[in-house]
Structure 1
Amino acid sequence: MKMKTIIAACALAGVGGTAAAGDIIGGSALLDADSHAQLERWLGAGEFNLNNVYTLRPGDTSDAFHAGADGKGATFTLFDVTNDAGASYLVGGYNPQSWASSEGWHETQRDWQRTAFLFNMTTPAVYRQVLTDYVLPSQGLRQTYNEAGYGPIFGSGPDLYVNDALTAATSWQLSYGNPANEGYSIIDGSLHGEIVKLNAMEVFAISPVPEPGNVAMLLAGICILGVTVRKRTLSRS
């Protein structure tokens, strides 16, 4: 490669070589740029990309959910649901651990482990795990339930539950949110865990967006190395 070609390639990389922030890889029918940004604010860990690892399709059961979502690390799971009054809501949860098919309850003994949260995009509102300083320290212990015969389940209320047929959901606050609101739904505020219809569900694996400065430094180092090697080659010829 000629010297001017290397320099031109480095200049081009400096202008357009950094990764785009906040991409939704694989597409989404439930999330747009604004709701993606809201998830970033709630998580508070900077910008991240979302990789669609599962989208509910007609006839799917809990087996399909686990086949797509298990072992993917931290995920956001989103649900479009409709209650008996015909009102629709976009709700979901952040699971910092991988979903699994045979591990039962993922329990979080310490506050630093209790980083999962539920959310309602329609309201909007966020519901975090109850911490150990509550009068009942174990109330926020159970983060998620992981078994093949169930859809995604958060908390021991269950605070957000999807059945094995992936057709219905319910919510009974207990492990998440304000303990004073125990028994209320994070979906529509109803009491005693009313069943709602599940219309759509998507699961997204999370990957951080590299800092622009770090990417630029890496590209600069590669370019300098390329130029140096090229100079040495020319001086020897």
Structure 2
Amino acid sequence: MKKIVAAGALAAALAAWTSPALAQTSSPSLLDPVLHGQLERWLGAGPLYLENIYTRQTGHFAVDFHAAADGKGDTFTLMRVSDEEGGSWLVGGYNPQSWSSTDGWHVAARDWQRTAFLFNYTDPAVLRPVPTSYILPSQGSLLTYNWPDHGPTFGQGPDLFVNNALDTALAWQLTYGDPAFQGRSFIDGSVDGQFMRIDALEVYSVALIPEPQTWAMLVGGLGVVGWAARRRSRAKA
């Protein structure tokens, strides 16, 4: 089994690979209504309000991502990546916990805690953590890696790694998806740990939109509170 890729090894590999120039940051948002609806269906929690809390700009580093995303609760990370042959994919991941600059690994020991997932929107696929019923129960436990010189990074493969300069991604399936495909990239299916250019990177906070009946109950409750306050006011007069 492939061991966890150390940060130093990744840094050395990235130093030997030169990323092409970053794309212009004035491109349209990666999130459109169709993708929004698909993310809602994949998460399965109901209607969502997604707020853009981070968009990569020229000259940004991982610390800029962390300054915007740390402590903001669950998030979707979206990124447009491309290879040297001109292929382009829209991929990302759902993190059910807040990003952090100091926590290291966020661990989910039990299946009910493993709600994170990775997705490929271009070649539709969703990869969820390996369950505890697998021969190695801990394989799906390391959901995200949280450190100041890492962008949004998922899984111990790393299943989706973003470097410090936020311009390069690497996908090597291990924590997420079918263990039979361990070592493959969920982006393009390659098995050689291919580096890809990140052309755009955005992070969205996630909030549930209350159902109509919930709004009705809330409004009704506020009405009762207001009525009680007015009655107390008249009684004092």
Question: Does the alignment reach a TM-score above 0.5?
Answer: yes
Q: Equivalent residue for 1:61? A: 61
The TM-score with structure 1 as length reference comes to 0.82
Identity over aligned pairs, percent: 55
Q: CA distance change for structure 1 residues 136 and 212 in 2, over 3 Å: closer, same or farther?
A: same
Give 2:135's aligned amino acid. V
Give 1:65's aligned amino acid. F
C-alpha distance in structure 1 between counterparts of 2:88 and 2:198, whole Å: 10
2:182 is the counterpart of 1:172: no
C-alpha distance in structure 2 between counterparts of 1:231 and 1:102, whole Å: 52
Give 1:142's aligned amino acid. L
Q: CA distance change for structure 1 residues 216 and 85 in 2, over 3 Å: closer, same or farther?
A: same
Q: Secondary structure at the match of 1:102?
A: coil
Q: Give the drift of 1:153.
A: 0.8
Q: Give the drift of 1:126.
A: 0.2
Q: Secondary structure at the match of 2:130?
A: coil
C-alpha distance in structure 2 between counterparts of 1:128 and 1:221, whole Å: 39
**Worse-matched range after superposition: 126-135 or 217-226:** 217-226
Q: Give the drift of 1:138.
A: 1.3
Alignment coverage as a number of residue pairs: 210
CA RMSD in angstroms, aligned pairs only:
2.1
Q: Secondary structure at the match of 1:126?
A: strand
* CA displacement 1:78-123 (0-9 Å, x = unmatched): 1100012111100000001110001111111111111110000101
* CA displacement 1:114-140 (0-9 Å, x = unmatched): 111000010111000001111111111
Q: Equivalent residue for 2:215? A: 215
Q: CA distance change for structure 1 residues 116 and 224 in 2, over 3 Å: closer, same or farther?
A: closer
Q: Flag structure 1 segments of 5+ consecutive residues without an equivalent.
A: 1-27
Give 1:192's aligned amino acid. D
C-alpha distance in structure 2 between counterparts of 1:229 and 1:102, whole Å: 47
C-alpha distance in structure 2 between counterparts of 1:54 and 1:128, whole Å: 24
Q: Equivalent residue for 1:24? A: none
